[in-house]
């Protein structure tokens, strides 16, 4: 089984390296944008592919010699990135590719392991030479089945980072036996588990919120295009990058704890674009409930559902567990005890009260139970024989469902983990 892991290190280019790095990132952005424009204008009629555009690079360099300052591999990779963006768009996984802005995070990638070296005392890159870095985490030793595939250099906030992509060919982990769980990424409980455990996510602290507000106010007072404005922008980016790293860390802690305690995990295949669409609405049809929706968007983005889902999936699958995505329709409106579906069931953001059987339960927990049942039926565990889920059915499905919300059966497992907190 091929697995790809990215190892991220902070790198410290000196001034003579940082300037050409920034230029290279800019050149890659330019090529990306030019190729996007070409595809927008001519792509449909002339079936322009990434290979066509890569083959046209020498022509572009002849017309604008300064583009040749950037390593050609990096320019080619920018075109490959655009191609991936289009593939994701056509597969319905992402929106239409957009132009990269000067203010956006710049990056460039070296795809040929023969041209760089990643050693403890420094990273050696073509054109930039040896760049200082702190290898806070060991890279796997390279061998016949462990290879470094690429190195991506990016600037984030005020700092530079290198992502080392390592491909390993390992035997697939044996299928894991154990409990199954449904997970709802919610608003009142950021991460709710179907057995009643909850997980806290780091949100923007009041200190962070205040600092961001101050910086944004300061930004508004700065003259456009001034150095001071640029500096303030960098401070905002650094603050947001810090928040992003806290979320990423929390997501890995959750994924790790879940992979240890469960063999099967189900989550919703959420269409995030709809949920976090701009609250303000369009001019023709102003948004309804703008304040409340703005609040919802903020708290959702605080927990970054797409990111958590991806990371949980990686941890579960690496441990040999089963990861399932379920259809998100009605998971928050269906009663997990009697299956009655009604919008009125959802009393508020937090409370669920079934209009048919009268069950009262936290709305996120109710959704988590529905998600577990959609993926695993009435099974509560994957048996050690490695059979399909569903083989460990309980005799009375209704009893098992009703027990779920109050269940303390898994308490000892959960207590081991400081991340997954039992519900009182
Ligand atoms: Zn009910």
Residues 334-393 have pLDDT tens digits of: 999 999 998 888 888 788 999 999 899 999 999 999 999 999 998 888 888 644 544 444
**How many A from CA of 90 to the centre of ligand 1?**
40
Mean pLDDT along residues 278-305: 50
Residue 20's SS3 state is: helix
Q: Is the pLDDT of residue 113 over 70?
A: yes
Single out the residue of 40, 115, 37, 104 nearest to residue 71, CA to CA: 115
**How many A from CA of 368 to the centre of ligand 1?**
15
Taking only the tens place, the pLDDT of each residue in 21-61 is 999 999 999 999 999 999 998 877 788 889 999 999 999 99
pLDDT for 388 equals 52
Q: Is the pLDDT of residue 82 over 60?
A: yes
**How many A from CA of 407 to the centre of ligand 1?**
18
**Confidence (pTM):** 0.72
3-state helix, strand, coil in the chain (%, to 5): 45, 20, 35
Mean pLDDT along residues 284-288: 46
**How many A from CA of 334 to the centre of ligand 1?**
8
**How many A from CA of 416 to the centre of ligand 1?**
33
Tell me the pLDDT band of 417, cut-offs 50, 70 and 90.
Answer: very low
**How many A from CA of 342 to the centre of ligand 1?**
10
Which has more pLDDT, 85 or 421? 85
**How many A from CA of 392 to the centre of ligand 1?**
24
Instruction: Report the percentage of the chain scoring pLDDT > 70.
Output: 81
**How many A from CA of 248 to the centre of ligand 1?**
37
pLDDT for 391 equals 45
Q: Is the pLDDT of residue 300 over 60?
A: no
**How many A from CA of 354 to the centre of ligand 1?**
4
**How many A from CA of 131 to the centre of ligand 1?**
62
Long-range contacts for 226-235 (Cβ within 8 Å, ≥24 apart)? Answer: 233/103, 234/157, 234/158
Buried/exposed code over 410-420 (b: 16+ C-beta within 10 A; e: otherwise): beebbeebebb
**How many A from CA of 332 to the centre of ligand 1?**
12
Mean pLDDT score across all residues of the chain: 81
């Amino acid at each position: 089984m091929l697995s790809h892991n990215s190892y991220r290190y902070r790198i410290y280019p000196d001034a003579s390296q940082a300037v050409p790095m920034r230029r290279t990132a800019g050149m890659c952005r330019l090529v990306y944008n030019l190729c996007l424009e070409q595809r927008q204008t001519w792509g449909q009629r002339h079936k322009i592919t990434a290979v066509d555009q890569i083959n046209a690079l020498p022509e572009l360099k002849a017309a604008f010699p300064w583009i040749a300052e950037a390593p050609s591999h990096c320019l080619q990779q920018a075109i490959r990135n655009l191609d991936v963006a289009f593939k994701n768009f056509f597969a319905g996984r992402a929106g239409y590719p957009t132009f990269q802005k000067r203010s956006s995070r710049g990056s460039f990638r070296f795809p040929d392991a023969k041209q760089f070296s990643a050693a403890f005392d420094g990273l050696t890159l073509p054109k930039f030479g040896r760049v200082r870095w702190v290898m806070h985490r060991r890279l796997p030793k390279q061998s016949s089945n462990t290879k470094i595939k690429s190195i991506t250099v990016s600037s984030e906030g005020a700092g530079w980072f290198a992502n080392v992509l390592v491909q390993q060919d390992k035997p697939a982990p044996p299928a894991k036996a154990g409990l199954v769980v449904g997970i709802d990424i919610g608003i009142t409980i950021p991460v709710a588990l179907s057995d009643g455990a909850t997980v806290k996510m780091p949100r923007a602290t009041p200190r962070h919120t205040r600092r961001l507000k101050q910086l944004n106010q300061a930004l508004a007072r700065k003259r456009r295009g001034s150095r001071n404005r640029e500096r303030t922008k960098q401070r905002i980016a650094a603050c947001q990058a810090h928040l992003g790293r806290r979320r990423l860390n929390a997501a890995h802690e959750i994924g790790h704890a879940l992979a240890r305690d469960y063999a099967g995990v189900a989550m919703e295949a959420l269409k995030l674009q709809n949920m976090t669409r701009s609250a303000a609405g369009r001019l023709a049809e102003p948004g309804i409930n703008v304040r409340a929706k703005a609040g919802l968007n903020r708290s959702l983005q605080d927990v970054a559902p797409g990111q958590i889902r991806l990371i949980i999936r990686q941890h579960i699958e690496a441990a040999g567990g089963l990861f399932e995505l379920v259809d998100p329709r009605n998971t928050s409106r269906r009663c997990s005890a009697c299956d009655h579906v009604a919008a009125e069931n959802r009393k508020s953001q937090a409370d669920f009260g079934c209009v048919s059987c009268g069950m009262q339960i936290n709305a996120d927990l109710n959704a988590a139970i529905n998600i577990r049942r959609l993926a695993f039926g009435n099974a509560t565990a994957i048996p050690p024989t490695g059979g399909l889920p569903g083989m460990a059915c309980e005799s009375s499905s209704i009893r098992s469902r009703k027990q779920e919300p109050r269940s303390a059966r898994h308490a000892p497992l959960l207590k081991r983990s400081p991340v997954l907190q039992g519900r009182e």
